[in-house]
Amino acid sequence: MADWPAIVAPSLPTEEYPDPAIRSKAEGGYVLTRPRYTRMPRSWNLAWEAMTNAHYLLLMAFWTAKYGGSTSFTWICVTDDTETTVRFSDKINAKVVAWASTGLPKLWSVSVKLEEV
């Protein structure tokens, strides 16, 4: 079972694969290549255009519990629905996009980067 908090799915997920090739130019005008490593860990950029304050607080509590990118966790990949071990690879970017009548944040625009462990 995934550790990821029970929050709404991201609205704009993207998935990236690194290029593991090492390239060396030869004097004959051709390029020699070889893999730098055999594993190709994926990374994801997740974005929510309008996350509720309750879900934002859950995400930030999870971020704090994992000490940012210090600790890995399991997550259900949004692109292929598999359970994957990941960690945060960058800080969480968030800004308030709507306020409640009480003056508290109502909706957040949030982006998170994850990398496969």
Per-position pLDDT tens, the chain of length 117: 579 999 999 998 999 998 889 999 999 999 999 998 888 899 999 999 999 999 999 999 999 999 999 999 999 998 899 999 999 999 999 999 999 888 888 999 999 999 999
Residue 1 counted as domain residue: no
- Cα separation, 111 vs 44, in Å, equals 10
Count of domains observed in the chain: 1
Give the pLDDT of residue 1. 58
Q: Are 33 and 22 in contact (CB under 8 A)?
A: yes
Sign (positive/negative) of CA torsion 81, 85, 91, 96?
positive
Q: Are 77 and 45 in contact (CB under 8 A)?
A: no
- Cα separation, 44 vs 102, in Å, equals 35
Residue 4 counted as domain residue: no
Q: Are 49 and 20 in contact (CB under 8 A)?
A: no
Residue 66 belongs to what domain range? Answer: 14-116
Residue 8 counted as domain residue: no
**Model pTM?**
0.85
Give the pLDDT of residue 57. 96
Residue 66 counted as domain residue: yes
